Amino acid sequence: MNDKQILSHMNELIDQITHHNYNYYSLDTPTISDAEWDKLYDELMNLEKISGTVLSNSPTKRVGGDILTGFKKHTHKINLYSLNKCTNFKELEEWVNDIKEKVSDAKFSLEHKYDGLTISLTYKNGKLLTAATRGNGSIGENVTEQVKTIKTVPLKIDFEGELIVQGEGIMSLSNLKKYNKTATDPLKNARNAVAGAIRNLDPKVTATRNLDVIVYTISYIEGKNFVSQQEEYEFLKQNRFLVAKEFNLYSDFKSIKKQVELIGKNKGELDILTDGVVLKLNDIAERTDLGYTAKFPRWAIAYKFAAEELSTKLKDVVWQVGRTGKITPIAILEPVELAGATVRRATLNNYGDILRKQIKTHSYVFVRRSNEVIPEILGVARLTPQSTDIQKPIHCPSCGSILVEDGANLFCRNFYDCEEQIKDRITHFASRDAMNIEGLSGKTVEAMYEKLRVKSVSDLYQLTKEELLKLEGFKDKKATKIIKAIEISKTPEFNKFIYSLGISGIGTKASKDLAKKFKNLNNLMFATKEELLSLHDVGTIMADNIIEFFKNPVSDWLINDLKFSGIVIKEEEETGHSKALWGKKIVLTGTLENFGRKELTEMLEKMGANVTSTVSKNTDFIVAGENAGSKLTKAKELNVKVYTEKEFIEKLKELKSK
Ligand SMILES: [Zn+2]
């Protein structure tokens, strides 16, 4: 090949790779295999090597070039506007109505407002010329080399005139998680991660962060007029920009509100930080008529959701001892409103976590709280002159014992004499998944410990109603109820008993597995490490913890005390069921008259069956109740045996008598 041929072939390869990259990164629908892609890419690299030329739009530039010495200023050709904001539906409705008064048949586009870093991209002759940050709206920073590494930013587009588009640089939450898994310096949050990656002088760093740019508007286009936002959206898509997945138009406030609420409700499941929505008037000619205020366009508005992540002052750190003796640091915060609740405390996991995140007292920290999750501290936002290191505690905050370090955690090893540990252990023992003593809250346990000298779980079984009546707030009814609940708890299932012992690392799932394997307490107490490790989900640490627990003479006393108190464990074999359904694959469908779905599932599982939710040719039989639908049809299609509920009860009787 001569130089001209090489160049033309390089251009062809760039076109092909660009096309496949768009399908892969922006549309998420790859059209060739990774190996085929590698082949094209290697060929291009090879030609670049032979010719000594790398075209400006070559995808090989994605890996990032040389480290820059500083950022150059970039003056925006068209100022980047900011948006009018509102935080409640009343304001939003007023805005919508106001526009509708001025514009007949007004339609609005509704987009997610992504939380990242605003980027402006300029193209000329179909090539990416510059990328710049927003800066103050009129002057930003030139970050072209950094942005070129972002795979969803097209280096080459079909449109040949000058084009300036605006988008949001983002780091998806899954990429953030993936990155932090191996990072020596974990990133605090997705928003900061983007800014840190794009405003980094080393484009190779930007490349490692796997960012995206979602383009949402055209700031300037040469020789072309769009009628609507929708037309802009289609144009952007055709030119291979990453755009929001959906584009919808709304005309009345009611449906706008419904959609905004839906997005707000589901935003926690999105892979991209979303802090609100943007509403824009669709018709571009009407926009020109409405114009701008000194600060923002009159034809668009951002609706912001209540924050889930904010920075606040960390005032102090207190240390808590849990039932296993593990010491957990709790951050005391200047109260902040997060996702509809006031947050005053947040967990810091362990001392290692504090060091890793470099948290100091009297510093501002990022706090995140999403639905139903314990507030968590992500990292330091900024330090103050008063910021001081958090001291590693030496003594247990409850009993004063010297703490022992084990990995990233600190432990109080005063297992049988540390007040907080004991109280937490009793609370755990009584909890629903353990012995299920109804009405025995942490607060009651605390009162029992202090007033009634309940110092061990076995002491619960010596309590009398008269004693309980001495506690504050206890009347006859409440005391009777608790005494009864304690009595009922005396015949636990084996797996629940294992869980109630509170052995470090042994949760409900492991407890069930252990019960199934060892059948009774004696077998478990004398289990060897090999036997324990033969269970799929039991690892070395768990096995060691179990052995350690039963080796301790105090555990022996505890178990003897419990037996002496009248505890009779229902051993696995004594559950009254045969294993007549061992290995059978069963599907339940429709409404059953005589059983709860969960109850029947549990019963069948005890008989060794495997209850699944989909019918396949491997299904042994299905039990079809009233109004059975598609599963019944499928079973008939596949010739799977079908029992009515009545027939099944007959079969059960037969099996049980065996
Ligand atoms: Zn202690």
Residues 157, 293 within the same domain: yes
> Residue 145's closest CA among 71, 195, 210, 83?
71
Question: What local confidence, expressed as pLDDT, does residue 627 receive?
Answer: 82
The verdict on residue 42 lying in a domain is: yes
In a domain, 73, yes or no: no
Say if residues 114 and 273 touch (Cβ distance below 8 Å).
Answer: yes
Residue 211 lies in a domain: yes
- C-alpha atoms less than 13 angstroms from C-alpha of 187 in its C-beta half-sphere: 24
**493 token code pair:** 């299932």
Q: Which two tokens stand for residue 134?
A: 């927003």
Specify whether 281 is located in the same domain as 330. no
CA–CA separation, 32 vs 20, rounded Å? Answer: 7
What's residue 392's pLDDT? 93
Domain boundary among 459, 488, 517: 488
Give distance in angstroms: CA of 564 to centre of ligand 1: 28
Is 78 a member of any domain?
Answer: no
Q: What is the pLDDT of residue 239?
A: 95
Could you tell me if 156 and 282 lie in one domain?
Answer: yes
Give 403 Cα–ligand 1 centroid separation in angstroms. Answer: 8
Structure tokens at 626: 């009233």
Q: Which domain holds residue 171?
A: 84-304
| Contact between residue 345 and residue 331 where contact means Cβ atoms under 8 Å apart | yes
pLDDT digit string (tens) for 80-105? 888 888 888 999 999 999 999 999 89
Number of domains making up the chain: 6
517 and 469 both lie in a single domain: no
Structure tokens at 375: 């507030």
**165 domain-assigned:** yes
Interval 172-222: pLDDT, tens: 989 998 888 888 777 877 888 898 899 888 888 888 899 999 999 999 999
Those residues whose C-beta lies under 8 Å from the C-beta of residue 393, and which sit 6 or more positions away, are 319, 327, 403, 410
**CA 411 to ligand 1 center in whole angstroms:** 8
H and E: helices and strands count for the chain: 24, 24
Which residues of the chain have a pLDDT value below 50?
A: 574-576
CA of 437 to the centre of ligand 1 (A): 26
pLDDT at 274: 86
Q: How much is the pLDDT for 575?
A: 46
Q: Same structural domain for residues 500 and 434?
A: no
Residue 536 φ then ψ, to 5°: -55, -45
> What's residue 115's pLDDT?
84
Per-residue model confidence (pLDDT) at position 574: 46
Spatial separation of the C-alpha atoms in residues 509 and 496, rounded to whole Å: 10
**pTM for this model (two decimals):** 0.53
* Contact criterion met (CB below 8 Å) for 217 and 166: yes
Distance CA 219, CA 121 (A): 9
In angstroms, rounded to a whole number, what is the distance separating the alpha carbons of residues 421 and 455?
Answer: 10
Catalytic residue of the set 113, 148, 360, 496: 113
- Return the biggest CA–CA distance within the chain: 102
Q: List the structure tokens of 46.
A: 């090879």
On whether both 241 and 320 belong to a single domain, the answer is no
Interacting residues of 83 by C-beta distance below 8 A, sequence separation 6+: 278, 296, 297, 300, 301, 302
Distance 391 CA to ligand 1 centre (A): 18
Domain assignment present for 217: yes
Residues within 5 Å of ion ligand 1, judged at the Cβ atom: 396, 398-399, 401, 412, 414, 418
113 catalytic? Reply is yes
- 579, part of any domain: no
Instruction: Please indicate, yes or no, if residue 69 is contained in any of the structural domains.
Output: no
Task: Give residue 590's identity as a one-letter amino acid code.
Answer: G
Ligand 1 centroid – CA 329 distance (Å): 14
What whole-number distance in Å separates Cα of residue 281 and Cα of residue 297? 10
315 and 269 share one domain: no
